[in-house]
A = this chain, B = another copy of it.
């Protein structure tokens, strides 16, 4: 008997997964916000997910995924991120335009389908925003060398590896600044007054970065250049 997951259920599991990774537990309200539903709707769905043994729900506390629920959530995230790679690499969408379509595509396909998609895309390690793609077993290669760009200090050389915010306006702003994944910079200066930065790119062009931008950029430190 094949336990089938509805689209709505998959969305709940995905959101609970992300929330519990941030806060240990997913509160009713935080789930409701992310899904743009009412708390009452969340209570009802949590009841159902609990009966399916995909979450453990403690009344008035919140929800935590079971091992089964986590498997489903990770698989959905894997599909989402693979489709994002498809949309950017193959269909030439800009990176700020892929989320809405990936939200729909992530519900399509079984394990075989997903592995074919993965192979076709060349088994990418990250999606277009730098987020790691879980492998077929649900394991992550969480890149521990990646830190927030607001944690840098002068003269450090680093490579942009991801964003912690994939909202369109932020991504478009990065495009305007000509900042993209894989680009290397050096920290020239930091200004505590407003938290802004001065960086230089590989051509020696310098640019100013606001606190807001640095705070949502994920970077990897490089060895000093000779």
Contact = CB atoms under 8 A, between A and B. Distances in A.
Interface of A: 90-93, 101, 104-105, 108-109, 113, 116-117, 120
Contact of A120 (B91, B104, B109): B91
Contacts of A90: 120
A91 B83 CA distance: 13
Complex copy number for this chain: 2
Main secondary structure of the interface of A (DSSP, over half): helix
Contacts of A109: 101
Contacts of A104: 108
A91 B108 contact: no
A4 B161 CA distance: 38
A194 B107 CA distance: 47
A127 to B, nearest CB: 18
B105 A93 contact: no
Contacts of A101: 108-109, 113
